[in-house]
Amino acid sequence: METQTYQLELSFREKVSGKWSKGDFAKNHLSYYLSERIPKLLIKWDKHKDKQILYLKRNWELLEVFKRYRMRIPSYIASAMVILTSFVLQSKGLVSETPVLIGVTSIIFLMGILGCIMNYWIRKQYTYTTKKIDYLYLRLNMKSDNFLSPKEEQKEMYEKYEVADRMFYTGFILIGFTWFICTLGLVWPFI
């Protein structure tokens, strides 16, 4: 069994009376540790392990939420930019007014920045949650429980999550490309 030990700080060592002896411990205290102390610690560890497994399940669920939002946010932002641009272009009087054109272009630019910030934040949370899951698997010495679908194994799950970065980068490209096309569509009559 893997264990951890801690060395007492010097200030606490002074409070401990006498020297520790292996023979004395075996004679006077070993039976207490084997019959009472160690079983209580193992029960406490099992409760702690259950909490970690619950935490692991919650992180898998959270990862699924982030996975859903990684393309929704760029899609919603890009759609909003296209709708705003098409509204302005269909309003014949608005396109000819320079202040309105500058204002709409600025709003589209700010929407693109907001979309990139949100996508970046979701990506950071996704990466952080993936690291927590890996840490918990290592800590709990578990190899194949993914807590999502009984049909999928952990290997298949990780294959899905390996493409996550590409999906986030695709979101950034979608927002940037949509911003460029919308801005070009608004300023094209003036070029």
Tens-digit pLDDT profile for residues 46-55 = 666 677 777 7
The pLDDT tens digits along the chain (191 residues) read 666 676 777 777 677 767 777 888 888 887 887 787 777 776 666 666 677 777 778 888 888 888 888 888 999 999 999 998 888 888 766 656 777 778 888 899 999 999 999 999 999 998 888 888 877 777 776 655 555 455 555 556 666 666 677 888 888 999 999 999 988 888 776 66
Q: Tell me the HSE value of 5 on the side-chain side, using a 13 A CA sphere.
A: 3
Q: How far apart are CA 98 and CA 91, in angstroms?
A: 14
Interval 60-89: pLDDT, tens: 888 888 888 888 899 999 999 999 888 888
Q: Pick from 190, 31, 165: which is nearest to 97 by CA? A: 190
For residue 78, what are its two tokens?
């890009």
Is 69 within 8 Å of 121 (Cβ atoms)?
no
Cβ pair 175, 77 in contact under 8 A: yes
* Residues 70, 25: Cα–Cα separation, whole Å: 58
Distance CA 62, CA 141 (A): 21
Quote the pLDDT of residue 178.
92
Q: What is the CA radius of gyration of the chain?
A: 29
Q: How far apart are CA 13 and CA 36, in angstroms?
A: 25
